[in-house]
Chain A
Amino acid sequence: MVELANFAIHTLNGIQYGFILFLIASGLTIILGILDVLNLAHGELYAVGAYVAFSVFGYVSGAFANPEGFVGLATFLVLSLLAAVVAAAIMVPLGLLLEAVFLRPLYGRDEVYQLVLTFGLLLILKDMNKLIWGPLPVRAGDIYSGINRIPAAEFVGLTFPTFKLVIIAVGAVVVVGLFYFFNRTKLGRIIRATAIDREMATAIGVSTDRVFTLVFAMGAFFAGFAGAMALPQSNASLEMGANPLVLSFVIIVIGGLGSLRGAFVGAMIVGVLSRWAVWQYPPAEIAAPFAIMALILLVKPNGLFGTWGETA
């Protein structure tokens, strides 16, 4: 029974981690699918989101250092989520700026230019973080200590941190929202049409410049949101963008380059697998996602789902 409970807890941990990874990978994959740009700076957008959330929530939580009682704790939780949304919203103008100023002149050029450019942006964003928040990791545990006072959720004999459940719930809402956006809304389907055929989209009057800017800003929003949601369980540090970027690559390769559905399935596979590894054999945590990627590519060389646009 204990084994089963452990299995359930680590699986839930993996799902929670998977949702964070999906938030990051979704932006990476739609930017790749639509702009045809592999954004190496995507992990840094995640880091900036975490830092900004730290500052935003640090400012707010001063008034809430010791949340008490149900109302106090609930308010604390809602405020921490709002701070994440604010942090993500602050990423939007940053995304708009990066796309319009730096990326736009390079469309249609060789991919190498885009890789060099986005790698440059990675370094610049990292230095920007260093300049604003300093070289040492900022300790998020202090300002988010109220999170730990929230009683753990208990269900079917399991005890699981409430905040992690909240992350799962928020992640699920984002997944449903994104699929709804791309499958049901006019704008979402215009974006998909642009992904399928840029030139034909132009010929029916779609401004691809505007679509590209919007998509990049969306990607920045979700990367920043992921950073902000992950922050309470970790610190914000200069190096924090590297791992999520690499894992996001693994995820979108597993799922099929540019496939949103693939990114979701890939994120769940990588999230759960790496948490199982942590539980059973910690040294395999990093290796496990790569191993499963290799296996999947052997069977399906284009990833689990095809290219994006065709089925969102």
Chain B
Amino acid sequence: MSADSLLSVRGLDAAVEGFQVTEDVDLDVAAGEAVGLVGRNGAGKTTTFRGVMGLADLFAGSVRFKGEELTELRPEVVPMRGIGYQPEDRKLFTGMTVEENFRLPIWSVGDARGLDDEDAIVEEVFDVLDELDDRRDALVENLSGGQAKMVAIGRALALQPDLLILDEPLEGLAPIVVENLKGYIEEINDQGIAVLIAESNVTHVPDIVDQLYVIERGEVVDSGPPDEVVEKPDVQRLMQGSGVE
């Protein structure tokens, strides 16, 4: 691991409902870096992320963020430290508008993160995700699938995070929407926010990340610069196997 690592996961054994899913996962994200975590459905991507967020039970391992051990914190403190999280199934706050979904994190962690100008932050989020601008007063349950993913990303972005964790942001979207969202993610990353993206579709991420991890059956089996990793045989197999368009 590098000394300037923003997020450093070591030996993570995370569980779902008492059953261990990840095995000894090591993962690093440097400040401002974009990192991909690819693997089939059920490989342990979501569980790894939930472990980082303090939402999964841990049997072993350490998660350090800016040098602080997150596993010793209560889960609601993790976002206060500067990690925004877009879960795989979006989990938008229904019955509320797009804008309310963006404001909620500011209300809950604004003081802890020193976010003073709520309106300015919301406008910044709409600036990045400009497609949502004219949908700001729409109830989130009335959005298209792509827009809903954007709201989930925007909600994480409203924390003004140093690290944005995106769990399959491109999954199940039409190709044109995928390209759109990839553009947004690159734009966010260009602002200096580190991004950690999970995808089961390996073809989506290599061109937008600096580092790529491959996870299979709960274990990281490969990692490195994306152009090297995608050449490796088991990754090739993964790309040709089921679950890949």
Residues of A with Cβ closer than 8 Å to B? 186, 189-190, 192-193, 196-197, 199-208, 309-312
The residues of B that contact A205 with a CB separation of less than 8 Å are 76-77, 79-80, 105, 108-109, 112, 159
Residues of chain A contacted by B112 (CB below 8 angstroms): 205
Q: Which of B132-155 contact A (CB under 8 A)?
A: 141, 155
Q: Is the CB of B108 within 8 A of A311?
A: no
Q: Which of A186, A193, A207, A311 contacts B93 (CB 8 A)?
A: A193
Whole-angstrom distance between the Cβ of B17 and the nearest chain A Cβ:
11
Complex contact B94–A196 (CB within 8 A): yes
Q: How many whole Å from B85's CB to the nearest CB in chain A? A: 5
| Inter-subunit contact A203/B94 (CB<8 Å) | no
Q: Which residues of A contact B104 (CB under 8 A)?
A: 189-190, 193, 204
Known: A186-B103, A203-B75, A205-B77. 13 other contacts (CB 8 A): A189-B104, A196-B95, A197-B93, A199-B91, A202-B75, A203-B85, A204-B105, A204-B108, A204-B109, A204-B159, A205-B108, A205-B109, A205-B112
Q: Considering only CB atoms, which chain A residue lies closest to B90 in the complex?
A: A200
What residues of B have a CB within 8 angstroms of the CB of A196 in the complex? 93-95
Q: Determine if B53 is an interface residue (Cβ-Cβ < 8 Å).
A: yes
Are B95 and A192 interface neighbours, CB within 8 A?
A: yes
Assembled-state Cα–Cα distance A24/B29 (Å) = 51
Contacts of B108 in A (CB 8 A): 190, 201, 204-206
What per-residue 1/0 map shows which CB atoms of B97-112 lie under 8 Å from chain A? 0001001110111001
A199: chain B residues at CB < 8 Å are 55, 91
Q: What are the residues of chain A within 8 A of B141 when measuring CB–CB?
A: 310
| B positions within 8 Å CB-CB of A | 53-55, 74-80, 85, 87, 91, 93-96, 100, 103-105, 107-109, 112, 141, 155, 159
Contacting pair B76 A208 (CB below 8 A) = yes
Q: Which residue of A lies closest to B93 (CB)?
A: A193
A196 to B89 Cα, complex, angstroms: 14
Question: Which of B74, B87, B96, B105 is close to A192, meaning CB atoms less than 8 Å apart?
Answer: B96
Alpha-carbon distance A193/B106, docked complex (angstroms): 13
Q: Which residues of B contact A207 (CB under 8 A)?
A: 74, 76
Sample (17) of A-B pairs whose CB atoms are under 8 Å apart: A186-B107, A189-B104, A192-B95, A193-B96, A193-B104, A196-B93, A196-B94, A197-B91, A197-B93, A199-B55, A201-B108, A202-B55, A203-B55, A205-B76, A205-B80, A207-B76, A312-B95
> Chain A CB within 10 Å — which of B79, B93, B159 has the most?
B93
* Beta-carbon contact of A200 and B79 below 8 Å: no
With contact pairs A203-B85, A309-B94, A310-B94 given, residues A189 and B75 touching in the complex (Cβ less than 8 Å): no
A202 touches B94 (CB 8 A): no
- Within the complex, the shortest CB–CB distance from B205 to chain A, in Å, comes to 22
Docked pose: A197 CA to B79 CA in angstroms? 16
Determine the chain B residues whose CB is within 8 A of the CB of A206 once the complex forms.
76, 108
A193 contacts across to B, CB distance below 8 A: 93, 96, 104
Docked-complex contact A189 and B155, CB < 8 angstroms: no
- The complex places the Cα of A208 from the Cα of B77 at a distance, in Å, of 11
The smallest beta-carbon distance between B117 and chain A, in angstroms, is 15
Residues of A within 8 A of B75 (CB): 202-203
Residue of B nearest to A204 (CB): B105
Contacts of B109 in A (CB 8 A): 204-205
Complex CA gap A310/B95 in Å reads 4
